[in-house]
Structure 1
Amino acid sequence: MAETLAYKPTQPRTETFSYLPPMTPERIAQQIAYCIAQGWNPAIEYTEPEKSFSSFWYLWKLPFFGTQSVDLVLSELEACRRANPGMHVRFIAYDNYAQSQGMAFVVFRA
């Protein structure tokens, strides 16, 4: 099992995965593939680091309704990062059945 990081109150934590060591690109792709396999709709959001605890993040394009391509989502994450330097970028998967977010995690931190 991967070793968890010691909690330090001076380090802001943004999502559940932020308490774990940083994910590798392969692990991020696996998480996105899992969401797509569940039938969830991927989306990308971004915000300024000082507003990362806000409920309102900026939506990058529209959610990718019905996409089956992990590579498409990964390329859009990179495009969002390039277009918005100095901002946090997170991946979100919307669950149609539960009408809520199935998963959300920050992919790139500023």
Structure 2
Amino acid sequence: MSLPTHLHYTEEHEWLEERDGTVRVGVTHYASEALGDIVYVQLPEVGEQITAGESCGELESTKSVSDLFAPATGEVVAVNESVVDDPSLVNADPFGDGWLLELRVSENGKLLTAEQYAELTSG
């Protein structure tokens, strides 16, 4: 799968998409493939403040449980209830319907371009 070039990425395999003063966050196809079939998603609450680099949720698969790390510092303004109800959306469409949350960012964490992320995951 090719990486969308308009997104920013993190070393923890999240993506960010800028959207009218907020960012939408999800996990990459690489992460969803590595996790296997995702069966449970735990996300922060709307209104919660999260801090870049710190755990803010969990993705549980048939293989393991993985922390979701905040890619930026800010306030959670929306969560995707569809993935809470149907976690398989993260596997089926990680860059689309499988998005996880939206943030009003006060400070970005360390972000990568699509090219930098591709280099990170090709090794």
What TM-score do you get using the length of structure 1 for normalisation?
0.30
The structure richer in strand per residue is 2
Instruction: Give the structure with higher Rg (CA).
Output: 1
The structure richer in helix per residue is 1
